[in-house]
Amino acid sequence: MGLSLKERVFTALLGIAAASGLTMLILILVKATNVFLPADTKFGIVFDAGSSHTSLFVYQWPANKEKDTGVVSQALTCQIEGPGISSYASDPAQAGESLKSCLEEALALIPQSQHQETPTFLGATAGMRLLSQKNSSQARDILAAVSQILSKSPVDFWGAKILTGKDEGAFGWITINYVLGMLLKYSSGQWILPEERILVGALDLGGASTQISFVPQAPILDQSTQATFRLYGANYSIYTHSYLCYGRDQVLRRLLAELAQRSPVARVRHPCYHSGYQATLPLAPLYESPCVHTTDSLNFTQNITVEGIGNPGDCVAALHRLFNFSSCKGQEDCAFNGVYQPPVHGQFYAFSNFYYTFHFLNLTSRQPLNIVNDTVWKFCQKPWKLVEASYPGQERWLRDYCASGLYILVLLLEGYKFSEETWPNIQFQKQAGGMDIGWTLGYMLNLTGMIPAEALTQWRAQSYSIWMAGVVFAVLTLSAILGAAAVQLFWTQD
């Protein structure tokens, strides 16, 4: 006796389900290809505790890394309110408290699941180096206070320490060459070392120190000025030196103190301040810095009246007295104060206060040296009332731009030995490649070399057309099974 209609329909539906299910499995297993999903993004936080202010930077990079170093990008920058942490010598706890608002902003950006594995570091620069010289216990108290706050936060706290000037210079050099694509570049679907790399030098002018870092043409003769490191599978050796007390703020303080010591009365005629400027200042704060040398005859309880005379020639002469150029006489490879320096070579990027001063003076478009010099001198000769009227809302630093501009010229030309021929090689920049130029990115790149890489996650995947076909056969299989079940349950035979 043959099969009934119900049995034939039921058998057909089961056959369809089996065939479409088998086809779906073949598409999934045979037509699939191996794909690698991107590794998780890693984050890092660096506090730049400078002499005049503190900044927070958040960096990110793929966890799998390239040639043992992370491909790092800047995700956030936050300016912390208030002065640099070295200013909290009398209230160290407040130095730690000041970091909280920017830290909260950083933690809001980073996924909460990654907070505990986010390396966080605070690096203090020349302001704290000076405080450590003046009062080491106060410097330790400040570092302890910031460490207490950061160690309590849900991050992987790597510590707070005072950077050496050599590290600050070397990390700044790494930063600028990285953001310009000199250390690594993306080509033909992969990261490679650039074939023709013209490495650039770094010029940093902070509040308390200045750094010069570059690759010289000849071997470095003084090993104390040499920094070496390995990034993206390549080794680097650069010249770098940091001059403590030659940052912008300390030079301005030393300049005023030097003029006060030369003045026989409590009225100081300041050649770097604009004519018509006048202010009464306490004398004692000038001598709080280890950079300022004192004489026993001074009465620190008195005030001094400072009167601007707007004489750029006398200003340059006064700035010269802050350097010891005679110590380099007869030495070819020497900058100033008897410090070894090979001749400058290649392109340079000047940032921090180099940039801020020249940006104010509208001199960041690579103008020729004679134009730069003429612009600074003319600005210095403007009456104070005209300067005030021309730049409303900029009173805080306005009186100092003349001295700063002339100081930069003296430092670069007579200190670092740039010339009219090599001056065009200097670019004054705040950012490059969308990232701030400074030591923090260089530090993070170096740090990523110490963080283990994570392997890419391997998955089986199909092309879009194969995936769509698989979905169709899956639906067909399910429909056939449901149809067979319905036939079995609800079809009644006569």
Active-site annotation holder among 81, 104, 117, 168 = 168
Q: Which residue has the tokens 């639906």?
A: 475
- Chain length of the chain: 494
Cβ-proximal residues to 416 (8 Å cutoff; 6+ apart), any chain: 203, 212, 335, 341, 344
* CA proximity to 168, closest of 49, 74, 286: 49
Cβ-proximal residues to 266 (8 Å cutoff; 6+ apart), any chain: 302, 303, 304, 305
Q: Which tokens belong to 72?
A: 């790092």
* Residue 429 annotated as binding site: no
* Residue 210 annotated as binding site: yes
155-178 CB burial, b ≥16 within 10 A, e <16: bbbbebebbebbbbbbbbbbbbbb
* Residue 207 annotated as binding site: yes
Q: How many CA atoms lie within 13 A of 131 on its CB side?
A: 27
* CA proximity to 380, closest of 355, 416, 408: 408
Whole-number CA gyration radius for the chain: 33
DSSP class of residue 172?
H
53, 95 Cβ separation under 8 angstroms: no
168 is catalytic: yes
Q: Which residue has the tokens 């890419």?
A: 456
* CA proximity to 199, closest of 167, 240, 247, 243: 240
54, 97 Cβ separation under 8 angstroms: no
* CA proximity to 205, closest of 248, 244, 249: 248
> Got the DSSP string for 340-385?
B-PPP-S-EEEEEHHHHHHHHTT--S---HHHHHHHHHHHHTS-HH
The Cα 107–Cα 170 span in angstroms is 28
Q: What are phi and psi of 55, to 5 degrees?
A: -125, 150
The binding site for ATP comprises 207-211
The binding site comprises 207-211
Catalytic residues: 168
